């Protein structure tokens, strides 16, 4: 605890320290854990409900202060969550879910995180596959079925009776079949929709971009985030992970690395990105902010060293009138019309299959437009 104690001891106003600790839920939790346990570990904190905010905050404080070792919070907390989940399940379900979760779902997620930093979406993806598998096995029990006796007709009935989330069972059934635990059962892959669903027209897109570039009344981080969605189709999940190290200056030009290669920013965007990079992070907790002075996050969150919640950023952009999905769709349509799919994939971090799909969609719509013009004379 020495690093944390030293930081608190350096604060010039002891009264503010006491007031702050008294009012913070994690400060109270820290006191109780310190008196009840010899050592505070990740495993001890994992024993609390994962949604317990004081635990999340305390963990971040202790990691940033060097009391606990750093870990991938989006993935390393799943084993503890899995233990809690399986503690309430019968043995015949546990014996199936544990190897599937550990050797398939988590193993693949960790492999992806080695190539690219994990996000809350990775944790959500992993948990959803595990939960739907538990739900399905419970349903089999209710139907007096097993993995060995379930048929395609049963699967079709399961899918028809549920929402789209039931299609997430596809991953578990493929795993079970590969280990000869179940027959070869088919679950359609929903994948991405062929149509973008909702797209801004060019006039509206550029109107919103002008607001991001010029309206000083809008918080700076929202202006930058909105412009990145509208110009480059970036997801909030990716935007909140950007740091100052992603910004490169070459003479009078400003570049931002969104994936593999730096992207040259247009001057209006370069100006607000530079301002955001040099702005003093706002925090009502200066003590905690000082715990992670070198994080370099452009979109810092309330917890030290942690980025802003991407759901909160999405909500803020929607409130500005920048609806993320149609804004992103419009940006990707625009880029797909001007650049090869391979270039888009490298610049924006899209999978090449996704980039090709957007290119084909734009080409098809342009062909349809020309045909319609020809038919109309």
pLDDT per residue over 108-129, tens digit each? 888 877 666 667 778 888 999 9
* pLDDT, mean of residues 7-22: 57
Asked if 112 and 122 touch (Cβ cutoff 8 Å), the reply is yes
Residue 207 maps to a domain: yes
pLDDT confidence tier of residue 322, bands split at 50, 70 and 90? very high
pLDDT confidence tier of residue 214, bands split at 50, 70 and 90? very high
Together in a domain, 38 and 84: no
* pLDDT, mean of residues 211-216: 95
Residue 288 maps to a domain: yes
Give pLDDT, residue 295.
Answer: 63
Strand (E) or helix (H) holding 247: strand 247-250
Together in a domain, 221 and 315: yes
Give the whole-number percent of the chain exceeding pLDDT 90. Answer: 37
Together in a domain, 88 and 53: no
> Going edge to edge, which strands form the sheet with 253-257?
247-250, 253-257, 262-264
Together in a domain, 55 and 17: yes
* pLDDT, mean of residues 87-106: 94
* pLDDT, mean of residues 69-86: 82
Residue 41 maps to a domain: yes
Give pLDDT, residue 354.
Answer: 78
Higher pLDDT, 102 or 45: 102
- pTM of the predicted protein model: 0.63
The string of pLDDT tens digits covering residues 126-145 is: 999 999 999 999 999 999 99
Asked if 361 and 333 touch (Cβ cutoff 8 Å), the reply is yes
Asked if 298 and 224 touch (Cβ cutoff 8 Å), the reply is yes
Together in a domain, 249 and 144: no
Residue 253 maps to a domain: yes
Residue 374 maps to a domain: no
Residue 25 reports pLDDT greater than 70: no
- What average pLDDT is seen over the chain? 80
Neighbours of 341 (CB within 10 A): 19
Crossing angle of helices 267-278 and 202-214, rounded to 10°: 40
% helix, strand, coil for the chain, step of 5: 65, 5, 35
Together in a domain, 173 and 206: no
* pLDDT, mean of residues 280-304: 63
Residue 312 reports pLDDT greater than 70: yes
**Cα–Cα distance between 342 and 304 in angstroms, integer?**
37
Crossing angle of helices 14-23 and 25-36, rounded to 10°: 90
Together in a domain, 324 and 212: yes
Look at the chain and report how many structural domains it folds into. 3
Asked if 327 and 230 touch (Cβ cutoff 8 Å), the reply is yes
Give pLDDT, residue 118.
Answer: 67
Higher pLDDT, 374 or 255: 255
Together in a domain, 283 and 242: yes
Residue 219 maps to a domain: yes
For 106, the domain range is: 78-178
Together in a domain, 207 and 294: yes
**Cα–Cα distance between 335 and 343 in angstroms, integer?**
10
Asked if 313 and 225 touch (Cβ cutoff 8 Å), the reply is yes
Domain boundary pick from 64, 97, 115: 64
Asked if 1 and 31 touch (Cβ cutoff 8 Å), the reply is no
**Cα–Cα distance between 322 and 42 in angstroms, integer?**
39
Residue 369 reports pLDDT greater than 50: no
**Cα–Cα distance between 189 and 262 in angstroms, integer?**
34
344-363: b (≥16 Cβ within 10 Å) or e: bbbbbbbeeebbbbbbebbe
Give pLDDT, residue 159.
Answer: 86
Together in a domain, 12 and 85: no
Together in a domain, 229 and 324: yes
The string of pLDDT tens digits covering residues 252-278 is: 899 999 887 888 999 999 999 999 998
Together in a domain, 207 and 104: no
Higher pLDDT, 194 or 242: 242
* pLDDT, mean of residues 216-242: 93
Give pLDDT, residue 293.
Answer: 52
Domain boundary pick from 119, 145, 178: 178
Residue 34 maps to a domain: yes
Give pLDDT, residue 50.
Answer: 61
Residue 282 reports pLDDT greater than 80: no
* pLDDT, mean of residues 314-330: 91
Give the whole-number percent of the chain exceeding pLDDT 70. Answer: 77
Residue 279 maps to a domain: yes
**Cα–Cα distance between 351 and 93 in angstroms, integer?**
35
In sequence order, the 6+-apart residues with CB closer than 8 A to the CB of 123 are 74, 75, 77, 78
Long-range contacts of 133-137 (CB under 8 A, 24+ apart): 133/96, 133/97, 133/100, 133/169, 133/172, 134/85, 134/89, 134/93, 134/97, 136/169, 136/172, 137/93, 137/96, 137/97
């Amino acid at each position: 605890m020495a690093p944390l104690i030293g930081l608190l001891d350096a604060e010039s106003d002891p009264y503010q320290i006491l007031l702050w600790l008294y009012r913070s839920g994690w400060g109270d939790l820290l006191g109780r854990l310190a008196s009840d346990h010899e050592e505070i570990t990740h495993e001890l904190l994992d024993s609390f409900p994962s949604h317990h905010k004081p635990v999340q905050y305390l963990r971040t404080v202790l990691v940033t202060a060097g009391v606990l070792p750093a870990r991938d919070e989006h993935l390393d907390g799943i084993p503890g969550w899995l233990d809690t989940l399986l503690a309430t399940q019968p043995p015949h379900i546990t014996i199936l879910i544990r190897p599937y979760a550990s050797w398939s779902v988590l193993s693949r997620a960790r492999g992806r995180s080695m190539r690219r930093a994990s996000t809350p979406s990775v944790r959500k993806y992993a948990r959803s596959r595990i939960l739907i598998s538990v739900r399905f096995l419970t349903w089999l029990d209710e139907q007096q079925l097993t993995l060995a006796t379930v048929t395609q007709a049963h699967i079709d009935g399961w899918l028809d009776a549920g929402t789209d989330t039931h299609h997430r069972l596809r991953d578990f059934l493929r795993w079970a079949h590969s280990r000869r635990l179940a027959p070869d059962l088919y679950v359609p892959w929903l994948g991405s929709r062929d149509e973008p669903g909702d797209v801004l027209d060019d006039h509206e897109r550029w109107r919103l971009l002008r607001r991001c570039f010029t309206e000083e009344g809008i918080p700076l981080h929202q202006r930058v985030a909105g412009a990145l969605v509208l110009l480059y189709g970036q997801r909030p999940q990716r935007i909140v992970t950007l740091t100052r190290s992603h910004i490169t200056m070459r003479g009078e030009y400003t570049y931002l690395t969104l994936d593999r290669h730096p992207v040259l920013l247009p001057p209006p965007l370069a100006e607000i990105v530079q301002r955001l990079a040099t702005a003093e992070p706002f925090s009502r907790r200066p003590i905690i902010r000082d715990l992670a002075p070198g994080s370099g996050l452009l979109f810092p969150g309330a917890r030290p060293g942690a980025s802003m919640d991407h759901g909160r950023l999405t909500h803020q952009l929607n409130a500005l009138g920048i609806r993320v999905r149609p804004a992103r769709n419009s940006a990707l349509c625009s880029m797909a019309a001007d650049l090869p799919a391979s270039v888009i994939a490298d610049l924006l971090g899209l999978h090449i299959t996704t980039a090709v799909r957007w290119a084909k969609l734009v080409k098809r719509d342009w062909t349809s437009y020309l045909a319609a013009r020809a038919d109309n004379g």
